[in-house]
């Protein structure tokens, strides 16, 4: 299992469009990937789960990946989160 803290820089946080991009990317990996925010945890492969966290701009989230391709999955998810600028 690997994890990394990321600050969400997207102006809308993880709402509709950025959350959809995140779910699509996560679904391309075999590993279980979750995101933790404000004491809550959601499966990144679930759009409803990601949206239910209510992640806002400048929120500090923890991305956790566990499985066969966990290192690559974590790297790609973090890269996507960092690319979601204003």
Q: Catalytic residue positions? A: 15
CB 38 within 8 A of CB 53: yes
Give the contacts of 64 (CB within 8 A, at least 6 positions apart). 1, 2, 3, 33, 34, 35, 36, 74
d(CA 39, CA 21): 23
SS3 78: helix
């Amino acid at each position: 299992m690997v994890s990394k803290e990321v600050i969400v820089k997207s102006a809308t946080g993880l709402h509709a469009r950025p959350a959809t991009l995140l779910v699509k990317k996560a679904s391309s990996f075999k590993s279980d990937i979750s995101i933790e925010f404000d004491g809550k945890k959601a499966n990144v492969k679930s759009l409803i789960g990601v949206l239910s966290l209510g992640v806002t701009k400048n929120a500090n989230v923890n991305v956790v990946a566990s499985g066969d391709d966990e290192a690559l999955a974590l790297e790609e998810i973090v890269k996507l989160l960092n690319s979601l600028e204003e």
